[in-house]
Amino acid sequence: MNKPIIANVLKLALTTSLLCTTSFVHAVSCTGTPADPKGSVSQLKDALQLATNTGTPLRITGTYNISTDIKIYLRKDLIVDATGATFNGTSSLDGDMFSFDAHETKSKECGAGTAKMNFTWKGGSFDMADAKVSTVVPYTSLTPANKQGTKSTADALSVRGYANSLHKLDELLIENITFTGTQSSSDPYHLAGGDSGILMTGALKATIRNNNFYGVRDAAIYVSASAGTGGDSTWGDHYTMHGNYIERAFDGITSKRGADNIQMYNNTLEDVNVGLSIKRVFSGSSWTATNVTIRNNDIDTAGRAISLERTNNATIKDNNITNLGAQVGNNNNNRNKYGSQYEGISLNGVQGATITNNDIVGVTGSRQSSTTTWGIVHRSDDGRSTTSITKTGNTFSNLDNNTKYQ
Q: What is the pTM of this model?
A: 0.92
Q: CB–CB of 254/219 below 8 Å?
A: yes
Q: Which of 6-20, 161-175, 245-259, 333-347 has the lowest mean pLDDT?
A: 6-20
Mean pLDDT of 105-129: 98
Specify the pLDDT at position 228.
Answer: 60
Specify the pLDDT at position 96.
Answer: 98
pLDDT over 70, % of the chain:
92
Q: Write out pLDDT tens, residues 12-26.
A: 443 443 333 333 334
Q: Name the band, by pLDDT with cuts 50, 70 and 90, for residue 113.
A: very high
Contacts of residue 15, Cβ cutoff 8 Å, sequence gap at least 6 = none
pLDDT over 90, % of the chain:
87
Identity of the residue numbered 190:
H
β-strands 260-265, 268-279 pairing: unpaired
DSSP string, 296-328: S-EEEEEEEEEEEEEEEEEEEES-EEEEETS-B
Specify the pLDDT at position 257.
Answer: 86
Mean pLDDT of 128-135: 98
Q: Share the mean pLDDT of the chain.
A: 92
Q: Which of 62-66, 73-77, 87-91, 281-285 has the lowest mean pLDDT?
A: 281-285
Q: Write out pLDDT tens, residues 43-73.
A: 999 999 999 999 999 999 999 999 999 999 9
What is the distance between the alpha carbons of residues 281 and 381, in angstroms, rounded to a whole number? 12
Residue 374 pLDDT more than 70?
Answer: yes
CA atoms within 13 A on the CB side of 248: 21
